[in-house]
Structure 1
Amino acid sequence: MIEINKTTGCIYIENVQICPDLLYSEIGVLSSKYTIVNSPGSGNEFNRIYIRNIGDGEITIGLAFAKERLVQIRIVNGSKYDFPPFTITKEDKEIILQKLETIGGEQEYTWGTVELSEDLRGGSIGILIGYNKR
């Protein structure tokens, strides 16, 4: 279950709450509940982490930070679905579109945007939440 606070930009996925003011140095708070994986290529200026298999494998989220500041959240289907890698299946897309519709569809807000993210070359689809510079 995904919910979004349309006023603040905070997202709620199962028992995880992520708000736009989350700092990279505060990720340890989430690691007590979930396995957090640093993405290869993360460094001092830009860091990307993944929280896998939230809600019994329903969802995986990626968080992107510029320096300390959260700039993006990407929500994809989790391992529960066992979709082939690097391929966007019809079912994969339908599930993502349902999740996107649940949170109000593609929208622009004062704090940022919510949109469908479809990478045909990379074979991935998800929901992209981008936060404005603060």
Structure 2
Amino acid sequence: VQVNIAGGTLFKIIYIALALTVIVFGIVSLISFSGGVIAVFFRIYSIMFGALLLISEFNLEFIKKYFFFMKKTIGKGVFCIIMASTLLNTNNWYSWGFAIGFAAIGVIFILLSFFVQDTSEDDVYNDTKV
């Protein structure tokens, strides 16, 4: 049984909020300059992944061509779980809180992908545009 959610407004709001949270968290933690060189790279990755999360909600040809999985509910869920793993690079309680939150939202998106039909115009990607 699949449920059709018109517009998916709630999903878009949640996803944009997640993206902005990752970007702000990455910038704030990057300013602190703690954790060494590896931590700085993880923070830069977090900012880049947050930007990808944000722009994936817009119908840009770049996203359709190179990051098509980000237009699907299951792809967004898997990406949230990957984001959660990048947030585990520090021993701060808020970093672990964000990571657990992202992992939980990722699991919810993956579970919803079995019941929610993606209704965007991107469902059928025309390979002739490549």
TM-score (structure 2 length as normaliser)? 0.29
**Structure with the greater alpha carbon radius of gyration:** 2
Choose between structure 1 and 2: higher strand proportion: 1
Q: Which has the higher helix share?
A: 2
